Amino acid sequence: MSRLGTGIAIAALTVFLGTPAQADWLRGHKLKAQCELDASRSEWSFCDGYVFGVAESLKLGGAICAPDDLEPSALSAIVVEYLREHEDVLTQVAFALTGRALKHAYPCPVATP
């Protein structure tokens, strides 16, 4: 390997090894702030897309029973209301908080034996 190639390899390793690995999950306080910022938009926003994605995954898994014709902005409004009412948990992962809000709003019927 040439000196240039060795130098490039060392530089690349330094960049990648010098960065600590961590899971930087989206937290409730950041989702709430983004959703409140996005509320004035008339088109799909980050908030709508995030909440809609969580809702779809929960529906596919049978965790919520939301109607299929819900607008993403309606789902976002439910989540924002939940986050405003539960400010004490905003340091938790946004996916979990979104799931709780949607499960509360759209619970599935309990199966009877």
CATH number for the domain spanning 98: value is 1.10.890
Instruction: Please check the confidence at residue 22 and state whether its pLDDT lies above 80.
Output: no
Q: What is the pLDDT of residue 2?
A: 54
Better-scored residue on pLDDT, 4 or 101? 101
- The DSSP bridge partners found for residue 27 are 93
Answer yes or no: is 112 within a domain. no
| Domains contained in the chain, number | 1
Q: What is the pLDDT of residue 39?
A: 77
Mean pLDDT (whole number) for 76-91:
96
Other Cβ atoms closer than 10 A to 27: 16
Answer yes or no: is 49 within a domain. yes
Answer yes or no: is 13 within a domain. no
Q: How far apart, in whole angstroms, are the C-alpha atoms of residue 94 and residue 4?
A: 45
The tokens of 104 are what?
């509360």
Answer yes or no: is 54 within a domain. yes
Q: Is 88 exposed, middle or buried (0-12, 13-18, 19+ CB in 10 A)?
A: exposed
Q: What is the pLDDT of residue 13?
A: 40
Answer yes or no: is 67 within a domain. yes
